[in-house]
Amino acid sequence: MSLSAELHVASRYLVGTRRWTPVVTVTLISLFGLGLGVFALVVTLALLDGFQSGIRSQIVAHASHAEIWPAAGRRIEEPEKLASLLQGALGDVEIVQMVRGTCLVSSDTDAVPASVIGRSDTDRVTVDRILSRRLGVASGDRVEVISARQRLTPMGPLPVRIRTEIARISTPEPGAESGEVVLPIERAQRLLWGERVIEAIELREKADPWTLGQRARKVLDEAGVAVRVAGLEELHRPLLTALALEKIMIFVAVGLMLVVAALNLLCNVAMVAAEKRKDLAVMAGLGFSPSSLRRLFLVLGLSIGLVGSVAGAVLGSGLAFVLDRTGALELPQGVFMVTAVPFSIDPMTVGLVVAVALGLAALAAWLPARMVARREPSEGLRYE
Amino acid sequence: MSESSSMVRATGLSKGFGAGLTRVEVIQELDLEVATGEMVAVVGPSGVGKSTLLHLIGLLDRPELGRIVLDGVQTDDLEPDARAELRNCDIGFVFQHHHLLEELDALDNVALPVRIAGEKGRVARDRAAGLLDAVGLSDRASHFPDQLSGGEQQRVSVARALAMRPKLLLADEPTGNLDSANAERLFQLVTELHLKAGLTSIIVTHNEEMARRCDRIFRLARRADLSENVRKI
């Protein structure tokens, strides 16, 4: 049997009525409930995506997009050859050679352990804000970086140290907890190794930073180079996992509104089933099978769900878009990285919200539909 | 009456409602046979089980005991969907209260069984328009039930019952809510359509005069057994 009869009757129940009936009232209440739930979820997730995309942008702006380490040992053999291989295969990729270690960094007032990174793309000394606060130093101040490596002197073995002026205070990576000092690579190599050693290679790319690690891994695997490669996802897995978990938790928590709206829809569809008991019996008498009656109620529930969730999604996305574009919700300066509450509308997320709302609407309609389909047609006529 | 010439053959029908002390036996061990093409009146006092009998024959309800064979089809073991298909294709109902869907206009009410059978809306509406013309209501096609008089509502109901060109017409006090003039007009319409369409009709009525104009009368008595089977006078 085609769906035409069910669709026809459902459409007349929903929009064809010529006067204000309880069916119209409960339909509007159900529409409002589902629409409100979807609206709230879309706006909340757009807000969360806005903040999270800000964090992701910060990661892309400040962190490596991919890093390469030796498969065994600490030094990369023939780093120049590896760099030219990557440059040739990946095109416009920024390649930075690095060494890393932990040193004691001291100022006139304090000394704290910190990560020391030597980079081939800098000739200045940069200290991040975490370390500068701990040491109480600013740009132009001098700090001493003391290595665990020792050299023999006439006075016996002494740790290798350099004294340098801070050129710049940098913003730490999102989630960073320990301080960091960045040195020109030659100074870091002297401090940590005493010779020209490359421990890691950092890759950066503007076009598609999130897949750079995969592409670099493929190139190096095909060339038979034994190195380890980590992309953005691997380098920042704890933070990205926390962000994903946060989104899931918010989805579930705010999504409970949809569950409440679906329960409301269930009650309302059950009320329609009770009010239209005689009509349903007549329709069964005219040949509506139990499965047709089930489909009729599913069409009713899904129609309400579709209109409510699409309206909620459109209004929610529209509001998030306007608030993001106008920057209407300002934030205190200096506290956050952004000046206004950011919103980001992800079509996949909006689609998922609408799909969940529709699924819940179908479930809510299915229970009364099952009840209606189980009745003998004469029941509705007998109690008329 | 041979098996092949009977449209309805009910044997040993029993049906009651409720349980325990509130249990009411409405129909007990009732036998009924209606030949193809017959117009049969079912009469009896209120509460005797006339509507219940019609519901059982029309597959709107299931008997607790007994068998019902419609046009040679044993209906007891049919699945709900098969019963629904039989109701849609082979049985037309006219109820005491018109039972038109208030959200649909007259044309869509008559077209509904045709839509249920899976026909497209245009086909259903064309057939419905012809039937409304046959019952003299072509000018009321776009009127909703509450915009029609009682007589007109029942005529629409008759048109709807015949929309699928059924073999069996079941009418439950179709004139019960009408004044005598409208009741007479409706009964004449049903009689005409019965003959014209070659229907088998079972009509529950309190109107003795109309019952006598049928081919046969079945009288149901208080004890819910078929007490009398009177040939047309």
3-state DSSP assignment of residue B226: strand
Tell me, yes or no, whether B110 lies in a domain: yes
Residue type, B112: L
**pLDDT at site B222:** 65
Contact call for B87 and A2, based on CB within 8 A: no
Chain A partners of B87 at a C-beta cutoff of 8 Å? 284-287, 377
pLDDT of residue A1: 45
- Measured between CB atoms, which of B97, B99, B103 is closest to A12? B103
Model confidence band, residue B226 (pLDDT cutoffs 50, 70, 90) = very low
pLDDT at A3: 59
| Residue A211 DSSP one-character state | G
Tens-place pLDDT, residues B102-125: 888 999 999 999 999 988 888 999
Q: Which residues of A touch B164 (CB under 8 A)?
A: 287
| Alpha-carbon span A148 to B119, nearest angstrom | 88
Mean pLDDT of B23-34: 88
Which of A1, A4, A13 shows the shortest C-beta gap to B121?
A4
Buried b (16+ CB within 10 A) or exposed e, A151-162: eeeeeeeeebeb
In a domain, B11, yes or no: no
Say if B78 is an interface residue toward chain A (CB within 8 Å). no
3-state secondary structure at position B59 = coil
Distance CA A268, CA A280 (A): 16
Q: Does the beta-carbon distance from B60 to A281 stay under 8 Å?
A: yes
With a cut of 60, say whether residue B79 has pLDDT above it: yes
| Residue B23 pLDDT | 84
Interface of A with B (CB under 8 A): 1-2, 4-5, 8-9, 12-13, 16-18, 278-279, 281-292, 376-378, 381-382, 384
**How sure is the predictor about B46, in pLDDT bands with cuts at 50, 70 and 90?**
confident
B196–A contact, CB cutoff 8 A? no
pLDDT band, very low/low/confident/very high, at B228 (cuts 50, 70, 90) = very low
Chain B, nearest residue to A284 by Cα: B84
CB atoms under 10 Å from CB of A176, counted, come to: 16
What three-state secondary structure class fits A112?
A: strand
In B146-175, the residues whose Cβ lies within 8 Å of chain A are: 160, 164
> Residue B69 forms beta bridges with which residues?
B9, B74
Compare CB distances from A16 to B95, B99, B103 and report the shortest one's residue.
B103
List the one residue out of B19, B14, B99, B91 whose CA is nearest residue B60: B91
The verdict on residue B97 lying in a domain is: yes
B121 touching chain A per CB within 8 A: yes
DSSP conformation class of B135: T
Q: Could A4 and B61 be called an inter-chain contact, meaning their C-beta atoms sit closer than 8 Å?
A: no
- Cβ proximity of A104 and A141 under 8 Å: no
Q: Which of A278, A282, A295 to mutate to test the interface with B (most CBs of B within 10 A)?
A: A282
Domain with residue B176: its CATH number is 3.40.50.300
Whole-angstrom distance, CA of residue A281 vs CA of residue A128: 76
CB contact under 8 A, A12 and B108: yes
Nearest CA in chain A to B51: A382
Residue B130 lies in a domain: yes
Q: Residue B224 has what pLDDT?
A: 41
State the alpha helices, DSSP H only, in A16-128.
Answer: 22-62, 79-90
**What pLDDT, on the 0 to 100 scale, is given for residue A13?**
78
User: Are B103 and A17 in contact (CB < 8 Å)?
Assistant: yes
- Interchain CB distance below 8 Å, B104 and A12: yes
Q: Is residue B27 part of a domain?
A: no
Using one digit for the tens of pLDDT, what is the confidence trace for B172-192?
A: 888 887 788 888 888 888 888
Structural domain span for residue B41: 37-62+79-231
Sheet containing B24-35: which strands, arranged edge to edge?
A: B24-35, B6-17, B65-70, B73-74
The answer to whether the beta carbons of residues A232 and A56 sit under 8 Å apart is: no
Interval A27-62: pLDDT, tens: 888 889 999 999 999 999 999 999 888 888 888 888
Number of folded domains that form chain B: 1
Q: How far apart are CA A193 and CA A170, in angstroms?
A: 25
ipTM of the modeled complex: 0.86
Quick one: tokens of A155?
């006075």
In a domain, B119, yes or no: yes
Residue-wise pLDDT for A262-312, tens only, equals: 898 888 888 888 888 888 889 998 998 888 888 888 888 888 889 999 999
Residue B144: list chain A partners with CB under 8 A.
18
pLDDT score at B229: 45
SS3 content of chain B, % helix, strand, coil (to 5): 40, 25, 35
Q: Within its chain, how far is the Cα of B33 from the centroid?
A: 15
Residues of chain A with Cβ-Cβ distance to B99 below 8 Å are 278-279, 282, 381
Q: Residue ranges of chain A with pLDDT lower than 70?
A: 1-3, 16-19, 174, 334-337, 382-384
